[in-house]
Amino acid sequence: MSAHATNEPAAFPSILPGATLGVMGGGQLGQMFVHAAQSMGYRTAVLDPDAASPAGLVSHRHVAAGYENAEGLAALAHEADAITTEFENVPAAALTALAQLKRVAPAAAAVAIAQDRATEKNHFRQLGVPCAPFAVIDSEAALQAVDEELLPGILKTARLGYDGKGQITVADRAALREAWQTLGQVVCVLEQRLELDYEVSVVLARGFDGTIVHLPVQRNIHRNGILATTLVLPGHIAEPVAQQVLQAARRIAEGTGYVGVLCVEFFVLGDGSVVANEMAPRPHNSGHYSIDACDVSQFELQVRTLAGLPLTAPRQHSPAVMLNVLGDLWFPSGSQAPRTPDWAAILGLPGVHLHLYGKAEARRGRKMGHVTITADTTEVALETAARAARQLGLPLDF
């Protein structure tokens, strides 16, 4: 399945500050989009069913409705001059309906690709972008027909899996069958387990006129399936690897007719080759450092693409390390009662930038915020990040 742009760039004049930009979804990505839009002089409108959503609380207008609620969609379209999304599981049909009334970017067809792992991987293949060998399991027959070469592997639900959810590592056929039953025998993708060297991601922005700009390639470290640390340090990623992933990400954006901010995650194998893991049709956790370390953040790029403004290549002015802040930090040593972390301890360190998302309740595994560390040199950035991690009680995995 492929999505292609069907409108000429001339059909998308710039929407200037003073207009209203809308976003589907009220989480932290929506909140940071709202902050970026407001700093540039735009009004904002958010559609999210949660009355206490982080983005809804800081927006000029919050439409408290479900993503498929006709009245809510009509209200958002009435408020906003253009609309984007902050997460990929907004129903594609809702974006299609909105696009009949107002400018929408990214398009529903592009978002739909990212909503289904099987569709996504076939899309990568069609565009000539390598990915891990895989098989789609949607029946007992497909389960029995799995190639032995795919084992050991990782079984993932085709839809709605994120941050390690809906994924089970399987060693053999017996474990595969048990895992598929555990996942409710829904449509799944079995990926061959590869020997990884490390993981990287590319965040790019593509405008209506086809212009593409990108952030520096980011190196990512995951813990329990959730992004823990992003490193954006000069010379930290071999140039051949950086060029491979940038070219592949551009191919995906162009081949999809994509407009907006797009993140593509890649696995780097031991021989230096790369395979695409998945794409996210929105800003990404691994690009949060750009708020503090670049002259144009991923969220400003999202505003610019949606509004049809010129895209300028972001420049990173400081080496950066980003540490995710999960709800686990509120429960030290297995305590049952939440306790606010000692933010003053890390804010006393030079170059530390704390971003909390304003979520009402801390829960284990829930993304509550992030900390970005910037410095003049890689060595100082890593040293300060290690001190901040120790203060917060985070493992030193970088």
pLDDT value of position 55: 98
pLDDT value of position 167: 86
Q: What is the average pLDDT value for the chain, to the nearest integer?
A: 93
What are 83-120's pLDDT values in tens digits?
999 998 899 999 999 999 999 999 999 999 999 999 99
pLDDT value of position 161: 65
pLDDT value of position 1: 34
What's 9-114's CATH class? alpha beta
Please give, one letter per residue, the 3-state secondary structure of the chain.
CCCCCCCCHHHCCCCCECEEEEEECCCHHHHHHHHHHHHCCCEEEEECCCCCCHHHHHCCEEECCCCCCHHHHHHHHHHCCEEEECCCCCCHHHHHHHHCCCEECCCHHHHHHHCCHHHHHHHHHHCCCCECCEEEECCHHHHHCCCHHHCCEEEEECCCCCCCCCEEEECCHHHHHHHHHHCCCCCEEEEECCCEEEEEEEEEEECCCCCEEECCCEEEEEECCEEEEEEECCCCCCHHHHHHHHHHHHHHHHHCCCCEEEEEEEEEECCCCEEEEEEECCCCHHHCCHHHHECCCHHHHHHHHHHCCCCCCCCECCCEEEEEEEHHHHCHHHCCCCCCCCHHHHHCCCCEEEEECCCCCCCCCCEEEEEEEECCCHHHHHHHHHHHHHHHCCCCCC
pLDDT value of position 11: 63
pLDDT value of position 336: 79
Per-residue pLDDT at 163 exceeds 90: no
pLDDT value of position 9: 43
Q: What residues pair up with 325 in beta bridges, in sequence order?
A: 369
pTM summary value: 0.93
The structural domains of the chain, with segments of one domain joined by +, span: 9-114, 133-192, 196-392
Binding positions are: 117, 156, 161-167, 191-194, 199, 222, 277-278
Q: What's the rounded Cα separation, in Å, for the pair 21 and 19?
A: 7
pLDDT value of position 164: 60
Using pLDDT thresholds of 50, 70 and 90, give the confidence band for residue 10: very low
Q: What's the rounded Cα separation, in Å, for the pair 51 and 121?
A: 36
Domain 133-192 of CATH type 3.40.50.1220: no
The percentage of the chain sitting over the pLDDT mark of 90, rounded to a whole number, equals 87
pLDDT value of position 47: 98
Tell me the mean pLDDT in the region 280-297.
Answer: 98
Per-residue pLDDT at 5 exceeds 60: no
What are 224-258's pLDDT values in tens digits?
889 999 999 999 999 999 999 999 999 999 999 99
Q: Which residue has the tokens 């565009």?
A: 127
Is the C-alpha dihedral spanning 140, 145, 148, 150 positive or negative?
Answer: negative
Per-residue pLDDT at 7 exceeds 70: no
The percentage of the chain sitting over the pLDDT mark of 70, rounded to a whole number, equals 96
Tell me the mean pLDDT in the region 26-47.
Answer: 98
What are 309-336's pLDDT values in tens digits?
999 999 999 999 999 999 999 998 777 7
Using pLDDT thresholds of 50, 70 and 90, give the confidence band for residue 12: confident
Binding positions for ATP are: 117, 156, 161-167, 191-194, 199, 222, 277-278
Domain 196-392 of CATH type 3.50.50.60: no
pLDDT value of position 332: 86
Per-residue pLDDT at 360 exceeds 90: no
